[in-house]
Amino acid sequence: MTSHTGRLYSLAIALVVFFLAWAVIATHPWATAGKDARLQALAVREAQLRKEAKLVQTVVAQRWANYQLQLKARKTAIAATKTSSAQNAPISTASSGASSASSQVKVVTLPPLTVTKTS
């Protein structure tokens, strides 16, 4: 092959054949169509997590409803206590004045604090 044109054509054909073979090999036509075991395990784990998340959401919803009921009952009890204490206020102030006179506060004075420094 002394012709430059023949060399160029043969080089071009060789490059086309090379890249075509590369593309065929890269597609892995001999590989099986089965899924990867890691992907299957990941799909199973995802389904498990979705199921657990749904369960957690139902538990949280139940706890929230229970909390709301307890809060309503507590607010009702507080309101009832406030109304009963408001009705009994004149009676309780008279009795508290008498009880405060009978219980006296004792004031205790302590000696001054002496701080000694050690070197």
pLDDT digits (tens, 9 = 90+) for 37-76: 898 999 999 999 999 999 999 999 999 999 999 999 999 9
Q: What is the Cα–Cα distance from 95 to 100, expressed in whole angstroms?
A: 9
Q: Phi first, then psi: give them for residue 91, nearest 5 degrees.
A: -70, -40
pTM for the model stands at 0.42
Task: Please give the pLDDT value at position 97.
Answer: 53
Instruction: Copy the structure tokens of residue 45.
Output: 């784990």
Task: Please give the pLDDT value at position 95.
Answer: 52
Q: Among all chains, which residue has been given the structure tokens 């992907």?
A: 39
User: pLDDT class for 13, splitting at 50, 70, 90?
Assistant: very high
Q: Which of 4-13, 26-35, 87-96, 98-107 has the highest mean pLDDT?
A: 4-13
